[in-house]
Structure formats: C-alpha cells, structure tokens
Structure 1
Amino acid sequence: MKKLLVHNEIDESLKQYFKDSTQNTSDYEVILSNILEGTMAGFWDWHIKDNYEYMSPTFKKMFGYEDHEIENHPDSWQKIIHPEDLPGVFDVFNKHVASKGKFPYDNEVRYYHKDGSIVWVFCRGKVIEWDEEGNPLRMIGSHIDITKIKEAEQTKKINIALEQKNQELERFAYVASHDLQEPLQSLQIFTDLLKEEFALELGKQGVQYIEYIDASRKKMSGLIKSLLDYSLIGSEDKKTITNVQVIVDQLTFENKELIEETNTKISYDNLPVLIAFDLQLKLVFHNLILNSIFFRSKNRSPKINIDAVKKDNYWTFKITDNGGGIGKDHIDRIFLLFQKLRHENSGAGIGLAFCKKIVELHQGKIWLESEVGIGTSVFFTIKV
C-alpha cells in the first residue's frame, strides 16, 4: 500500500514542529494519522496515473463497510455513490483540473449505505501533483457525513412549506367566509320581504317553501361560521395558566339547562392546572361534553366521566360516556372536517376536527375507543 502523505496546513505545521524538535519522524506519522482518524472524516489519496486510490477505514465505515470490504480503487466508491450525483462529481473534477486547482473541488453528494439508506457527504479535494505537461498526477481529499444536517434542512423546508400552506388556507377560509356570508344576508332580506309583503299571494305552501329556503340559509351560514372559526384556531397570542377544573365547572354551568333536561350526570375531580391556550382548550371540552349529551343512548340517561393523568411531559385526558357508541368503520374519519358523527342529520361535522387541530396545536394527539351500544371514550394529550 502506498503511504498516505496529506498536503495541508496540519501536515506542514507538524513537519515544522518535528524539524525544530528532537522528536522522531515516525511519531509525526502516528500523530498525523490519529488526528485524521479522530476527526471521523473519511480521507482518500488518489494516485491518478496508477489508478490507485487509498480510502481510509473511516471513509469506508461511513457507509457501513469494514476496511477489507472495499478495495482501494476509484471504482469502489463509484459503485456506491448515487447514480444521479456521479455526473456532477466528474463535472466538478474536470473544472478543477482545467483551472489548475482554482475552481474548488467541493461536492455535496449521496452515497448508499450498506443497509440501503442514504448517506449525505460533503467532499472536498485538491490535486497536489502535476506532471510537466500539466496533467494531474495525485489528488487528496476528505469526506464528512452531513446526513443529519441535510435531514434537518429538509425538515425545515417541509415545515416552512406546511406553514405557508396553512397560512394560505387560513386566509382563504377567512376571506371566503366573509364573502359567502354577504349573499346569504341578501337572501335573508328578500325571503323576509316575500313573507311580509306577499304571504297572501304565496299561500300556505308558498310560505312553507320560503321557510325551507330560510332554514337552508341558516344551515349554510352556520357552516361558514364554523369554517371561519376553524381557520382562526391558533391565532391566540400566547398560552396562559389554565385551570381545567374551572373550565369544566364553567361549561356545566353554561349548559345547566341542557344537562338538567337530559338528566345528564357529569363526574370529574382534581383536574389539573397547566399552561395552554385557555379559550381553545375550553372549546375542546365543550365539543366533547356536548357530543356525549347529544349522541346519548335512547335507553338511558347520559353519564360522562372526565379523568386526567400526567405521565412524563404530557397530561392525558379521558372523557367517557355511556352513549350509543360509534361503529369501527367511522372511527378513522370522524376527526376530519365535515365528517358527521353517529347520526346523518346531526351537526355540521366539524366539532371533532376542531378538537384535533387544537390538541395538535398543544403538541398532543387525540383518539377514541368506542363500542356500539356501550359508549365511547375520547383520549387526548396536552404537552406541558
């Protein structure tokens, strides 16, 4: 094996040190080798004329291979480099040679790891020996694994793109909601005028048709308002100290008439105080509690129990009811926008989508377990 002599500032500094000291030059080579190996950067030394290329054990280890598993030859790395990146490597090399080294030999390329995964590498090299005719004779360089950096960059780009898309959707929903409300308001005005001024001419059936139109208008208006509210989730400026016990106390008081009318029993105790978006967390409990009341069993009065358990950095809430339950074929889609729950004519189908978006805003997740005829348990987590 040809001896590796790296021509760089470290090399020159060490040479000067050993020249001015009484140290043995063999110590110099040991120190240099340990410096290079200790960086965990792969290095290579290509003797171009002989077409021999020394590749360090760390170079090979970067791609999951032991030293003996890869031959010290240019073909070896060309076999594991991503085929889309190989032409770019040759192009940079040709420019580097044509400029006599002034054009830098720098590459960010992908290699295949032994296990099939992708390893991103930053490669920097330099021709250090030329013949009398200006042809390259020897080139040295290093490889550094930058996979984590590239993955972080990619994740950042995805997050930025998602954030931009979310902002666009929110702006669209806000503008659309306002623009769509205007013709509905006009529709209300004219249907009211028809009933007031032409009720006799229209007759009982005609008035009934107008009432159908007005009912549809109100339903459409409610859907648009729900869409607007959904787009505004996350617009609260900051989280505050939130007492969940107080939130549920308030909700039971605000819905006292419905609770008494349906003979609903709600049990809860020692719910936590945490940092959260107070109004939006209240909306989660509002939707889940009212769902349990609205979708109650026909054969028994509603019973709702609310529990909370802290584990690691999350509070897990559980809201259990004894309602009619949800079929397994509906569970996967009920957290989507405008997916109605349990009964085709009930609500706008947006309440649970609200809950999902708010929970995810708190870096948590939401799911449920249900059995038809027995009841439903909704779980959600809030990061603390």
Structure 2
Amino acid sequence: MIEVGEFEFSYKDHAMRSYILKATPLSSDHVMITYEYISELKKVKSELTQKNKDLKEKNSSLEEFAYIASHDLQQPLNTINGFVGIFKSKYLDLLDETGLKCLNYIEEASNRLRNMILGILEHSRLGTNIVVTTVDLNETLDDIVKDLQGIITKKEGEVRIGNLPKVEGCAIGLRLLFQNLIENGLKYQKDNNKPIIDISFEEKEGSYLFHIKDNGIGIQEEHKDKIFQVFQRLHTDETIYKGSGLGLANCQKIVQLCGGKLWVESVYGEGSTFSFTLPKK
C-alpha cells in the first residue's frame, strides 16, 4: 500500500468561480474531500491591494503638493517683509499712530504666515528619509532637557524622567515627538504655576506604552480630538501661548509612522497625560 499525504489544489468551475480543494486520506480506500469557496476572498484581497496602492499614491502627491506650495509661497512673503522693512527704515516718521499700527499688524501676520509655511514643510517631510536605528531614550531625553533648560529654569519647572527603554526607530522623529510633548507641558500652564512633567513607560506584550503627564491648564473634553488636527489651536491669543498649531499633528504623524497610537486624557484646569505606544521590533 502506498500512503498518500494530505494535499490541496485550486479549481475554477465553468462559471469561473474559484475554490480550494483539499484531499485528506482516511484509509487505503477512502479519501475525504473538502472545499472552500474563495472567489469573494480573492476579490476583496484584490480591491484592498488596489486601495492601498491608490492611498500611497495620493499620500505621495499630497506631500509633494504641500512641499511645492509651501516653497512657492515663501517668495511673495519675502516681498511683503521686504517692503515692510523699507517702510520702517525710510518712511516711519511719515506714519501716524494708526498707520504704524497697521504696519505692525502686517509684519506680525507675515511672520505668522512664515511660521505656518515652515510648519507645513516640516509636516510634509515627516516620514521621508527614515533611518531606523536603536535609540536609547534615556540619552534622547537627557539631550532634550538640556536644550529646554532655559524655559525650565525661567518657569521654575521640573521634568521627572523614569528609566526608559531602548527602542528601534527614527532618532530624529522620536526626539521631535518627546520634545513637542514636553514643551507643551511647560508652555500651557496657569499663571505663576510651576510646571511638573512626569515621563514614564510600561512594557506591554509587543509594545511599549509611554506617558507624559503635566500639571498644566488641561483640555476640555470636546477638544481632545481637535488638538491633533493640522493648524488647530485652542488658544488664539499668541501673546500668552505661541505656536503654529502643528506640534501635536506632527506627534500624531510620527507615532502613526512608527505603527503606534497617540491619545490624551485630561482634566480641564488640572493637567493632561499624553500617552502613546511604540511597537517592539
């Protein structure tokens, strides 16, 4: 007796419907035949592959458009700033109080636009030229705290960091992620409040879960999703809280590129905790 092992093969009927047939020997005289109808599965898989391809092409086109548009916008902006400079250097004495105020408004608006353009360029470039290395987050956070020491000292703040792991990722992107979240915790504070930032992590199955907790002004419940959108700022008075409205959108993009998730839990008036996951490689 020749023993025959289990085997399977594909089959199409006269209506071009696809099946996978599987033959399993039960004895020398009996074989069990099973089949699986896979036409719909193949169709869904094909559609999903095409949609992923279309999405990649659209994302690439969108990033290219953002780069070109932002780059081209800088030239007329430079012209505006140039003429403002001429007015201030040569015709300042001819302007009354109202005229000077209008000129200052133009200068401030052009500076805001410049920051927005630079923000768009930075946001469009995120995810390009990624170099994945082993990143010691303890060293990364040590460098960030040194760079932010000026504002920490000015506000009499404290950044408390637990022992963090080494992760596989883009060093520049991870630095930008942590720095943005720490800066926000230092910036968005009540008057005369001393900022305290706590940074910790938990090791989960297949991922690391990070928490960056602050004692700042907090976020209202209806704004928790809005803050991660591009150019969404909850505080429009730039004399108190300056920013382009791109910081958290950049953080969201960085975490998504890493294959993780970013979210916030907050009590308005008491503080916020930003949490995100980074997969283990």
CA–CA distance in 2 between the matches of 1:194 and 1:177?
26
CA–CA distance in 2 between the matches of 1:301 and 1:43?
72
Matching residue's letter, 1:373 = G
Question: How big is the shift at 1:252?
Answer: 0.9
The residue number in structure 1 matching 2:77 is 184
Question: How big is the shift at 1:350?
Answer: 1.2
CA–CA distance in 2 between the matches of 1:43 and 1:200?
88
Q: Is the 8 A contact 1:41 1:144 kept in 2?
A: no
Question: How big is the shift at 1:269?
Answer: 2.3
CA–CA distance in 2 between the matches of 1:158 and 1:263?
51
Q: 1:273 aligns with which of 132, 148, 166?
A: 166
The residue number in structure 1 matching 2:16 is 107
Q: 1:297 aligns with which of 177, 183, 190?
A: 190
Q: Is the 8 A contact 1:107 1:122 kept in 2?
A: no
2:258 is the counterpart of 1:366:
no
Matching residue's letter, 1:382 = L
Question: How big is the shift at 1:157?
Answer: 1.4
The residue number in structure 1 matching 2:119 is 226
Question: How big is the shift at 1:255?
Answer: 1.1
CA–CA distance in 2 between the matches of 1:258 and 1:183?
34
CA–CA distance in 2 between the matches of 1:143 and 1:152?
16
Q: 1:335 aligns with which of 228, 248, 261?
A: 228
Question: How big is the shift at 1:122?
Answer: 5.5
Q: 1:375 aligns with which of 258, 271, 280?
A: 271
The residue number in structure 2 matching 1:213 is 106
Q: Is the 8 A contact 1:368 1:379 kept in 2?
A: yes
Question: How big is the shift at 1:149?
Answer: 3.3
2:76 is the counterpart of 1:158:
no
Task: Give the number of equivalent residue pairs.
Answer: 261
CA–CA distance in 1 between the matches of 2:75 and 2:9?
66
- Residues 1-384 of structure 1 correspond to what in structure 2 (within 5 A)? 39=8, 105-108=14-17, 121=18, 144-298=37-191, 300-341=193-234, 343-345=235-237, 346=241, 347-384=243-280
CA-to-aligned-CA distance 1:128-165 (integer Å, 9 cap, x gap): xxxxxxxxxxxxxx974244433332222121111111
Q: Indicate the SS of the match to 2:96.
A: helix
Question: How big is the shift at 1:204?
Answer: 4.0
Matching residue's letter, 1:358 = I
The residue number in structure 1 matching 2:28 is none
Q: Give the TM-score taking structure 1 as reference length.
A: 0.63
CA RMSD of aligned residues (A): 2.6
- Shift in CA distance, 41/205, structure 1 to aligned 2, threshold 3 Å: closer
- Shift in CA distance, 374/171, structure 1 to aligned 2, threshold 3 Å: same
Gaps of at least 5 residues in structure 2 are: 21-34
Question: How big is the shift at 1:312?
Answer: 1.6
Q: Is the 8 A contact 2:202 2:210 kept in 1?
A: yes
Matching residue's letter, 2:236 = E
The residue number in structure 2 matching 1:13 is none
CA–CA distance in 1 between the matches of 2:191 and 2:84?
37
Q: Indicate the SS of the match to 2:231.
A: coil
CA–CA distance in 1 between the matches of 2:11 and 2:63?
48
CA–CA distance in 2 between the matches of 1:241 and 1:360?
18
Q: Indicate the SS of the match to 2:16.
A: strand
CA-to-aligned-CA distance 1:279-330 (integer Å, 9 cap, x gap): 0111111110011111113363111000012212211110001111111010
Question: How big is the shift at 1:192?
Answer: 0.6
CA–CA distance in 2 between the matches of 1:155 and 1:166?
16
Q: Give the TM-score taking structure 2 as reference length.
A: 0.85
Q: Is the 8 A contact 1:264 1:302 kept in 2?
A: yes
Q: Is the 8 A contact 2:255 2:278 kept in 1?
A: yes
Q: Is the 8 A contact 2:212 2:275 kept in 1?
A: yes
Question: How big is the shift at 1:202?
Answer: 1.8
Question: How big is the shift at 1:106?
Answer: 4.8
Give the number of the structure with larger relative contact order, counting CA–CA contacts within 8 Å between residues 6 or more apart.
2
- Shift in CA distance, 151/375, structure 1 to aligned 2, threshold 3 Å: same
Q: Is the 8 A contact 2:263 2:274 kept in 1?
A: yes
CA–CA distance in 2 between the matches of 1:205 and 1:295?
33
CA–CA distance in 2 between the matches of 1:43 and 1:164?
34
